[in-house]
Amino acid sequence: MKSTQIRLASRPKGEPVASDFETVEVDLPDLAEGQVALRTIYLSLDPYMRGRMSDARSYASPVEIGGVITGGTVCQVAASRNPRFAEGDYVLSMSGWQSAEVVDGKGLRKLDPADAPISTAVGVLGMPGLTAYVGLLDIGQPKPGETVLVSAASGAVGSVVGQLAKIKGARAVGVAGSAEKVAFVKEELGFDACVSHRSESLKEDLAAVCPNGVDVYFENVGGATLDAALSRMNPFGRIPVCGMISLYNATSLADGPSRASLMRQILTDRLHVQGFIVTERWDRFGAFVKEVGGYIRSGELKYREDIVEGLENAPRTFMGLLKGENFGKQLIRVGEDPTRA
Amino acid sequence: MKSTQIRLASRPKGEPVASDFETVEVDLPDLAEGQVALRTIYLSLDPYMRGRMSDARSYASPVEIGGVITGGTVCQVAASRNPRFAEGDYVLSMSGWQSAEVVDGKGLRKLDPADAPISTAVGVLGMPGLTAYVGLLDIGQPKPGETVLVSAASGAVGSVVGQLAKIKGARAVGVAGSAEKVAFVKEELGFDACVSHRSESLKEDLAAVCPNGVDVYFENVGGATLDAALSRMNPFGRIPVCGMISLYNATSLADGPSRASLMRQILTDRLHVQGFIVTERWDRFGAFVKEVGGYIRSGELKYREDIVEGLENAPRTFMGLLKGENFGKQLIRVGEDPTRA
């Protein structure tokens, strides 16, 4: 059995370019006792991967040069010498950017296609969904009637944040990157309002749709969207800091508004700003999947996937993801999905 | 009865100067039914007053031009037509920068000199002490063995923060502004270590005394001390933001480290940064005064007062306070203290 792997050829400086990636075909070893061969169906692309390509100090170790790039995957068991897994089983894995892998079965989670589409295990019912759940409910703690603002509102995390906010009785306001996304966020996802971060009057646009200010700003992007959000924060506002996609390709963090201005506002407005990493919050997974799985089945919570065919398109698609070119949860279909035949 | 009042003559630009203050003598009215005449013994000087002299948007309304400057005071009842107060009673008041006042008795709290020296009602057992208590215990939440760093460590708030941290089983490290203060913080207050913020190697000095990093940084000052603290924060560190004295005289907040660098660190290190205002935390006063009052009586918690004689010296002393020229809780003795005769 062969695997096509996309490896990190060099650490990107600023935006990743094609030459930062290399594609290699390898022969997988025969299965030893206890091992499982996996065939990748879906590879999840997520902004955090940009951090793993860098060797700047962070909460997780970087991918080594020459290493397969990290990533959550939905796989099918192609062969098994492990009694816990049978050929044909669907599993959630961290196989990364490759088409097949031999593993010992530890850390795999079986997926039942009858519960939910298997692709949701890396999306609305997986890491992005849990990120939204923990950041909004555990840190943001919205109260009924409050206003929740979320950036990247049509994305895998933001779309869940806003819809959960609505379910909890809050007002949901999104920021997204195109007229089409803005319309989707309002009309399909049911947010109360959505504005475009490409507008030159973003602050004014936001003021118009947040007449009572912002109580929770779920931070995914940084930059101008953060400027606008801070201009509307209410006293005692909460800012769960989930990511800052606008910085991921930055080669310097020295420009822009000053730290002092932010610290002064944190004091004056008694803000609560807190960073979190979803991988440290797996203790909440059971509660999350029970609650959000219910909303998915009842149709109360919608999700959108942006599926690109072919592992070879992962680098280009990832570069686009960092610029907001995706529309919904970004997936690469690496191999056939028999459940959607 | 006359009162000498210090009023705000003009809003300071940057550091306050003498001409921003004016001294006026007024005749107080005769007492109406229910009124009380107060003679000021101690006026508390606190950094927050600089904010009240400015009309920048803040959590509290500014002092009007021509208005008596706000301030907590310990007063004695000089005459009373209110059945709740007798001549000679000591009370905690918000009389501000003046030597006497006629009030209706609402909001006054009687002080018993047998409980604690009356001056402590505006210090270690008053607003500054409660600030330390709420910021450290409710927001910072130090665990035994963790390291708590506090700026302005010899001051009214910082000295309580560090000693409370010790009592709770944490390591206490201070930052102070002179060799004399550093020695006091270590030898008298019993902090595990203290460094000077005037050192050119502040970051290295701090690293040397915080070998296991910093878990709670109690922020009073901003600027270079914040730089150094951030360079040592541990993952999941907490930063209660109580004040930023280094900014209070700033005419611009545009310079210095960028907001993006702070936001990135909040995310990467999963920091919890939270502003708070003690006047919104009076619900904790009962618990505070019971617990900290006990530590004062048992001698576990020490405090130091810096008492300047004469209301006329309040402006000059206040200007010095903003530069760290005080040594301990800054008080102005406006009138005789019969309990210290």
**Confidence at residue B106, expressed as pLDDT on a 0 to 100 scale:** 92
- β pairing state of A90-93 and A109-111: antiparallel
Closest chain A residue to B260 measured between Cα atoms?
A253
User: What's A329's DSSP letter?
Assistant: E
CA A227 distance to own-chain centroid: 22
Interval B279-297: pLDDT, tens: 899 999 999 999 999 999 9
Closest partner residue to B259 among A59, A242, A259, by Cβ? A259
| Chain B residues lying within 8 Å of A223, measured CB to CB | 260
Stretch (H or E) spanning B229: helix B223-230
**Confidence at residue B58, expressed as pLDDT on a 0 to 100 scale:** 74
Q: How far is CA B127 from CA A8, B123, B289, B337, in A?
A: 56, 6, 11, 20
Stretch (H or E) spanning A206: helix A202-209
Closest chain A residue to B227 measured between Cα atoms?
A259
| Residue whose C-alpha is closest to residue A335's, from A102, A86, A73, A106 | A73
CB contact under 8 A, B263 and A263: no
Compute the half-sphere exposure of residue B303: CA atoms within 13 Å on the CB side of its CA: 31
| Chain A residues lying within 8 Å of B235, measured CB to CB | 59
* Predicted confidence pLDDT, tens digits, chain A (341 residues): 999 999 999 999 999 999 999 999 999 999 999 999 999 999 999 999 998 999 887 777 899 999 999 999 999 999 999 999 999 999 999 999 999 999 999 999 999 999 999 999 999 999 999 999 999 999 999 999 999 999 999 999 999 999 999 999 999 999 999 999 999 999 999 999 999 999 999 999 999 999 999 999 999 988 899 999 999 999 999 999 998 877 777 777 777 899 999 999 999 999 999 999 998 999 999 999 999 999 999 999 999 999 999 999 999 999 999 998 999 999 999 999 999 87
The answer to whether the CB of B229 falls within 8 A of the CB of B237 is no
**Confidence at residue B284, expressed as pLDDT on a 0 to 100 scale:** 96
Does the pLDDT at position B212 exceed 80? yes
CA B201 distance to own-chain centroid: 27
**Cβ partners under 8 Å of residue B69, min gap 6:** B6, B7, B8, B21, B49, B52, B53, B63, B96, B97
The answer to whether the CB of B206 falls within 8 A of the CB of B182 is no
Closest partner residue to B267 among A223, A275, A280, by Cβ? A275
In angstroms, what separates the C-alpha of B136 from chain A's closest C-alpha? 15
The token pair at A190 is 């049911």
The answer to whether the CB of A184 falls within 8 A of the CB of A304 is yes
The token pair at A69 is 């790039």
Closest partner residue to A263 among B241, B264, B277, by Cβ? B241
**Confidence at residue B59, expressed as pLDDT on a 0 to 100 scale:** 74
| Chain A residues lying within 8 Å of B255, measured CB to CB | 258, 260
Interval B20-57: pLDDT, tens: 999 999 999 999 999 999 999 999 999 999 989 998 87
Cα gap A80→A31, rounded to integer Å:
8
List the domains of chain A with CATH numbers.
2-123+303-340 (3.90.180.10), 127-280 (3.40.50.720)
**Cβ partners under 8 Å of residue B149, min gap 6:** B173, B174, B175, B206, B210, B214, B216, B217, B218, B229, B232
Beta strands in chain B (DSSP E): 2-8, 21-27, 36-44, 73-80, 90-93, 100-103, 109-111, 147-150, 171-176, 193-196, 214-218, 233-241, 272-275, 305-309, 329-333
Helix axes B285-298 and B158-167, enclosed angle (nearest 10):
80
Closest partner residue to B244 among A250, A267, A269, by Cβ? A267
Closest partner residue to B259 among A58, A257, A277, by Cβ? A257
**Cβ partners under 8 Å of residue B299, min gap 6:** none
Cα gap B167→B178, rounded to integer Å:
25
pTM here is 0.91
The token pair at A259 is 């730290």
**Confidence at residue A58, expressed as pLDDT on a 0 to 100 scale:** 74
Q: How confident is residue B142, by pLDDT bands cut at 50, 70 and 90?
A: very high
ipTM of model: 0.89
CB contact under 8 A, A260 and B272: no
| Chain B residues lying within 8 Å of A226, measured CB to CB | 259, 263
Q: Give the position of tokens 């919608």.
A: A302
| Helical H segments across B250-303, by residue range | 259-268, 285-298
Closest chain A residue to B262 measured between Cα atoms?
A259
Radius of gyration, CA atoms only, chain A: 20
The answer to whether the CB of B20 falls within 8 A of the CB of B100 is no
Helix axes A158-167 and A285-298, enclosed angle (nearest 10):
80
In angstroms, what separates the C-alpha of A211 from chain B's closest C-alpha? 19
The b-or-e profile of A30-45 (16+ CB within 10 A means b, else e) is ebeeebbbbbbbbbbb
**Confidence at residue B61, expressed as pLDDT on a 0 to 100 scale:** 85
CB contact under 8 A, A273 and B270: no
Closest partner residue to B241 among A243, A254, A267, by Cβ? A267
CB contact under 8 A, B222 and A263: yes
| Chain A residues lying within 8 Å of B219, measured CB to CB | 263
CB contact under 8 A, A59 and B270: yes
User: What's A278's DSSP letter?
Assistant: G
**CB burial of residue A339 (10 Å; 0-12, 13-18, 19+):** middle
Closest partner residue to B253 among A241, A260, A269, by Cβ? A260
In angstroms, what separates the C-alpha of A250 from chain B's closest C-alpha? 10
Kindly list the residues of chain A whose beta carbon comes within 8 Å of any beta carbon in chain B: 57-59, 219, 222-223, 226, 235, 241-244, 247, 250, 253-264, 266-277, 280
